[in-house]
Structure 1
Amino acid sequence: MKIDAGVSVSEQFTDNVFLTANDRRSDFVTVLEPWVALSLSRQDFRLNLEAAAEVGRFADNSSEDYNDYFLGAEARYRINGNLFAFGGLDYAWDHESRNSPDDVNGVEPTELRDASGFFGLGGKVNGRSFRLGVNVRRLDYDDVLQFNGVTFANIDNDDRDRVETEVGGRLGVASTENGEFFVQGIYDKREYDDRFDNAGLGFRRSSDGFQAALGYTGQVGELKGEALLGIMSQDYDDPRFGRTTTVDFGADLTWPISAKTDLTGILERSIEETTLNGASGYISSSAGLRLRHRVAPDMSIAGYFFLTQNDYQEVSRSDVLTETGLSLRYYLNPRIYMDTDYDFLQRQSDVAGVDYDEHRLTLSFGTALDPRYRKDAPNLAKAGASGFYVGAQLGDTALQTKNDGPRGAGGNLTADFGDHDLSGGVFAGYRTDFGNLVLGAEAEVEFSDSGWTHQGNRNFSAKRGNSFGVSALAGVRTRNDNLVFGRFGLVSTEFDSTYQQGLNPLVSVSDRELGLLVGIGTEVPLGRGLSGRMEYQVRAYEDYSIGSPLGGADDDNFANIESVARVGLVYEFGARNRPGPEIEPTDFSGFYAGVQLGHGTVQSDNTGPRPNAAAPTFTLATTRAGHGFTGGLLAGYGYQANDFYIGGEAEFELSTADWNIERSPEGRIYSVEKIGSIGAGLRLGYVVNDSVLIYGRAGVVRSRFNSNYQFGGVSVDQDDDLDGVRFGGGVEFAVGEKTHVRFDYTQTEYDSHSVNYVAGVDQFDTSERLFRVGLTRAF
């Protein structure tokens, strides 16, 4: 018998407790997490038992306090050399996160109980593996109170209670030297306790469905893991819901970049339940990367990025959820550790008002009975070279403002505005090497005039001024001493905002707002203590109110978000006296292909007539802006002659960048969303230190944009394929024998397009700014 147990205590800061776009609330959360695990093995029998708890206490928002508990048991019995039986039981007392699409905005989180059990048989028949099993899950949601602004009302969640049953199997069909092809099938039944839900039209949500797929598990080259492709379908009891059928895919693959570094890629798709009125469910498609680097037995660093798209069925709504973060773990001794985590979460939707972003910073201390390394283990982490550095940088700062405020008699406006401008600044910092891990702290001053204006019946604007920031940096030195780093920190920025409605006096607000930032970047040595830097940051600030000369309930709320791309020079004191690593020359010639992930902004100069019964007709002139993530594929060919480089490249990408505006209950609802692009271009560059390619690029792209416009009973949903000229630059270097990483920033100017909604025509002149990190493989 083996027992292990532990406990961790965390202090977490979140800048958005309720996950809202406007009227954000920040708080500190203390989290206690005890756990115990028991493992028992007897010849052919193995039993694992687990118990855990998570208790959270909010400093200012005690209604969000929670107590979660978990019990689990799993057993396996080997019947003979080719056959084994397995089974398990789990029970959890849980609460629903505020990021749930079904969160009812109760005065406290919705509590639930989640019980599941599974059993089955597995083994081999004629050398082919097989696995048959049954899984049953019971979900039971508690009621919760909701405040409607005047009184409290009870939200009846009994219509969400259900039993989900899966019966399925997997059979190996062909073996390879390092793996096996398999087929698998699953029957899926979802039975709700209440025949009809509590929506106004009373939908019958019970359903049954299936999944069928062909897959491979094993190893191909350096990749290890599993991948599958198939079909899934769900048929609902309610005749108003159509059958949902879609492609099924999944992958969990690990690529060892080096002896100490692993990159894991994950793909998942499922058909999920929802109680959103009119929706049968939603198709959830997720993709993610997780990078882990073991610096030493007592120190490791990890980063991750996950993107999930939820496409709701039977209603017009699509959400994109993004989560990215950086984590550093250090063991004070074999049983006690310290974690520092920074996480950035974001939801974008084509429904106005449900977007949000959240920054979380967590410091944890934990302990476990079982030591995680030997006390006399060699090569434990220790500080190496360290020193001060200074630098200067230039950048492109895009400001986006989410505006929320009252309009008319009981109406409301939710809208996105923004624009961009150049920025510049200086910085200074101190950092220390722990092997090839770099930890540091940095302070900076930045100057910019980015801002936007809205001219119409109401004239308002926002403009940012200088900023001061402090941040922590953590990075890894790769081949040839090139540094890849992430950062998180605080930034204080001055914002000047104005507001004027009709003939009312002009109102202005000038104040500094505190924000949280997260970023990624690279530094490449240039020689004589100098390095070149390229990085990208996303910043979210405290919101503020402006509008009525008297203030109060008639004010608009402004929530500012920035994305900043910049390049700079870094001078490290004493670096020229330290011997550098022996350079391994990199040849950038030949064919290559890879993947890239990015974040950027889409902004549209929006003009159009605005007839108004309560005021004279006017012409709207403003800039709409929003941001989002992209992901795609690229392939190209390059030729290097001495230190000069020329190459051609093709690319394909999908995008989540959009902006929207909603004037409710009556008024205009419209949005522009970038769907994806194909493009081609040239790269011209110069190779520095025989190992780093610094390049400029220019090319053409064709991107699809979706415009949705509703006004006066007319609904327009149109797709436009717009041609654009894309230009920019970046830096590329090797991180493995044939593996390169690149950091790339581009600007794209598109052809204008218009939307005719019968009562008028709106014009949109759209541009895009995009920062991408790519990973390529040379052939």
Structure 2
Amino acid sequence: MIRIEAGMSAKSMIRGEMAVVVYQMGRRIMHMVSDKGYQPIIRALAACVAMGLLSSASLSYAQALNVQKEEDPRRAKNAARVTKEVTPSDDDNGSNDKERVDESFQPKGLEVGKFLFFPLIENDVSFNSNIYSTRDNVKSDLVTKIAPEFRLRSRFSEHSLNITGRVEEFVYKNHEKENHLDANLTADGRYDLSRDWEATGLLNYARQYEDRGSPDAVAGKRPTLTHLYSSRVGSKLREGRMTYAGNMTLDRRIFENVTTSTGSVINNSDRDRTEAEGELSTSYEMFPGYSVVGEVSANRRSYDSNRDDQGFQRSSWGYAARTGIGVDISQLIRGDFMVGYMAQNYEDPRFKDPQGLSVRASFNWTPSKMTVVVPSFERSIQETTTSQVSGSVRSSAGLLVRHELERNVVLTMTTRVSNDYYKGTGQSNWTYEARLRGIWSLAPEYYIGGEAGGRIRTSTVQSSEFKQATALLRFGLRM
């Protein structure tokens, strides 16, 4: 029997246990051999085996210590919630910042059977220096936003189902025609087919008014009301070093007509369309921390109108194929760098089809347990209804930095530079954006926040240029 003395180290315990095992094995072997002439050889062999086993135990213990020392800071118990996110850039606008504070400052919710119900209401007061996003005749205003929200989250032992609903009412102090109501309803879930195989799904409806700064926005007396119906199904399977994934997305976009200041009607129905896309991807882990990844995708964009108001056929189909590497270096940096080829083919022969190099890169760097840094770059083809243009090729580089200043204070800085090149007219837009915001959870039931930002667009078409500065204060109540 092994006695464990007070203060005995784990390394000493392991060596003690191994020594006893080796001693017992040696005695059994000695009894099995009757010829005493073999005993010196056996003793020597036993000593060598003992030394090897003890050395192996010491090495294993050292490796275990190293693993503990190199514990992933994103999963460490005292790490910030912001560093545990798999894809922080999915929410670079900060709508979920209130959920990134420490667990002790999170609401507990209301129990509804197998679900938790989280009600919330936010109130923002913001200043916008250029509400119409124009180069000339710039107008500023104070905007009040009231946004009630609910979230329903499952508490199943496996699988998951979440439902989120949100309404946002915008009230302008001096420009009442800009007042509008946005709404969003989303249901998403995951079904665990096995430990390494899952299926996911999403349904979404969004009622939103088009941003005045959008290149496709029309000069209506009121902003354009849009409706988006989205659905997505996907699956991911992990088999040893291989990972397979697939997604199918179907979007339905509807644009309401608007009137001009003279009373004439701007027809937006020729922008109504259905977009379908499928994507397949796979990755192979060559050795720990490095994987070869590849993906292919195809899409179909079908407009309701065979021709738009200017007589162009805007329906198209396209594809993209990319390959590259996925990294998870020293448990501090993870992400993908992929390059390939993309193309979009339009039905109208007068359009110039955009095509060329496709790039997608995003890295999640966790320099400390409280900070995450996410640089990204992407080159893709964007849909547009700009006159005489088939599509735009967008090259965009961004940087997101999120830091937990205190357990109940989260700061986020985002910057982005993008270029949109319009095939057909040669128009080129450069857009520069920067935002700094913070959220301060005073208690699980309420929080305050603030944000300051700016956006500048330069263009080869002067009428598309503008400068805009924004600032806001936020107060939220939740349960």
For the aligned pair, the TM-score class normalised by the smaller chain equals 0.7 to 0.9
Select the residue among 253, 275, 279 that pairs with 1:168: 279
Between Structure 1 and Structure 2, which shows a larger proportion of helix residues? 2
1:37 to 2:151 alignment: yes
DSSP 3-state at the match of 1:257 = strand
Contact 1:64 1:108 in 2 (8 A): yes
Contact 1:145 1:152 in 2 (8 A): yes
Which residue of structure 2 aligns with residue 363 of structure 1?
A: 473
Q: 1:300 to 1:88 in 2, by over 3 A?
A: closer
Which residue of structure 1 aligns with residue 326 of structure 2?
A: 217
1:54 to 2:164 alignment: no
Q: 1:247 to 1:46 in 2, by over 3 A?
A: same
Q: Distance in 1 between matches of 2:477 and 2:362?
A: 30
Which residue of structure 2 aligns with residue 318 of structure 1?
A: 428
Which residue of structure 1 aligns with residue 380 of structure 2?
A: 270
1:233 to 2:343 alignment: yes
Residue type matched to 1:287 in 2?
Answer: A
Which residue of structure 2 aligns with residue 190 of structure 1?
A: 301
1:204 to 2:313 alignment: yes
State which drifts further: 151-160 or 327-336. Answer: 327-336
Q: Distance in 2 between matches of 1:32 and 1:3?
A: 20
Which residue of structure 1 aligns with residue 365 of structure 2?
A: 255
Which residue of structure 1 aligns with residue 24 of structure 2?
A: none
DSSP 3-state at the match of 1:353 = helix
Which residue of structure 1 aligns with residue 70 of structure 2?
A: none
Q: 1:107 to 1:246 in 2, by over 3 A?
A: same
Q: 1:255 to 1:84 in 2, by over 3 A?
A: closer
Which residue of structure 1 aligns with residue 449 of structure 2?
A: 339
DSSP 3-state at the match of 1:277 = coil
Which residue of structure 1 aligns with residue 268 of structure 2?
A: 157
Which residue of structure 1 aligns with residue 352 of structure 2?
A: 242
| Alignment size in residue pairs | 364
Select the residue among 66, 70, 73 that pairs with 2:180: 66
DSSP 3-state at the match of 1:195 = coil
Contact 2:122 2:477 in 1 (8 A): yes
Q: Distance in 2 between matches of 1:125 and 1:294?
A: 36
Select the residue among 214, 220, 229 that pairs with 1:100: 214
**Quick one: percent identity of the two aligned structures?**
27
1:24 to 2:156 alignment: no
Question: Unpaired segments of 5 or more residues in structure 1?
Answer: 370-779
Contact 2:323 2:339 in 1 (8 A): yes
Contact 1:298 1:334 in 2 (8 A): no
Select the residue among 383, 388, 392 that pairs with 1:282: 392
Alignment of 1:314-713 (within 5 A): 314-369=424-479
Q: Distance in 2 between matches of 1:217 and 1:43?
A: 31
How far apart are 1:34 and its partner, in Å? 1.8
Q: Distance in 2 between matches of 1:328 and 1:43?
A: 34
Which residue of structure 1 aligns with residue 292 of structure 2?
A: 181
Deviation by residue 1:318-356 (Cα, 9 ceiling, x = unmatched): 111111021122222233211111010111101122210
How far apart are 1:179 and its partner, in Å? 4.5
Q: Distance in 2 between matches of 1:10 and 1:324?
A: 19
Which residue of structure 1 aligns with residue 250 of structure 2?
A: 136
Q: Distance in 2 between matches of 1:289 and 1:274?
A: 25
Q: Distance in 2 between matches of 1:68 and 1:323?
A: 23
Q: Distance in 2 between matches of 1:121 and 1:173?
A: 17
Residue type matched to 2:445 in 1?
Answer: R
Question: Unpaired segments of 5 or more residues in structure 2?
Answer: 1-114
Q: Distance in 1 between matches of 2:441 and 2:200?
A: 35
- Give RMSD over aligned pairs: 1.6
DSSP 3-state at the match of 2:260 = strand
DSSP 3-state at the match of 1:152 = coil
Q: Distance in 2 between matches of 1:259 and 1:43?
A: 29
1:110 to 2:221 alignment: no
1:90 to 2:204 alignment: yes
Deviation by residue 1:3-22 (Cα, 9 ceiling, x = unmatched): 32322100001111111122
Deviation by residue 1:45-104 (Cα, 9 ceiling, x = unmatched): 211111111110101111111111111111211222343222111111111000100111
Residue type matched to 1:273 in 2?
Answer: E
Residue type matched to 2:371 in 1?
Answer: T
How far apart are 1:30 and its partner, in Å? 0.3
Q: Distance in 1 between matches of 2:378 and 2:170?
A: 30
Which residue of structure 1 aligns with residue 120 of structure 2?
A: 6
Deviation by residue 1:7-43 (Cα, 9 ceiling, x = unmatched): 2100001111111122111110001122211121434
Q: Distance in 2 between matches of 1:86 and 1:302?
A: 29
Q: Distance in 1 between matches of 2:199 and 2:337?
A: 25
Report the TM-score, using the length of structure 1 for normalisation.
Answer: 0.46
DSSP 3-state at the match of 1:159 = helix
How far apart are 1:256 and its partner, in Å? 2.5
Between Structure 1 and Structure 2, which shows a larger proportion of strand residues? 1
Contact 2:247 2:280 in 1 (8 A): yes
Deviation by residue 1:137-165 (Cα, 9 ceiling, x = unmatched): 00000001123xxx321111111000000
Q: Distance in 2 between matches of 1:175 and 1:50?
A: 39
Q: Distance in 2 between matches of 1:70 and 1:299?
A: 27
Contact 1:173 1:180 in 2 (8 A): yes
Contact 1:44 1:79 in 2 (8 A): no
How far apart are 1:126 and its partner, in Å? 5.1
Deviation by residue 1:109-154 (Cα, 9 ceiling, x = unmatched): 000100110113221245411112211000000001123xxx3211
Residue type matched to 1:129 in 2?
Answer: T
Q: Distance in 2 between matches of 1:77 and 1:292?
A: 31
Deviation by residue 1:669-720 (Cα, 9 ceiling, x = unmatched): xxxxxxxxxxxxxxxxxxxxxxxxxxxxxxxxxxxxxxxxxxxxxxxxxxxx
Q: Distance in 2 between matches of 1:16 and 1:57?
A: 15
Which fold has the larger relative contact order, with Cα–Cα distance below 8 Å and residues 6 or more apart in sequence? Answer: 2
Deviation by residue 1:533-558 (Cα, 9 ceiling, x = unmatched): xxxxxxxxxxxxxxxxxxxxxxxxxx
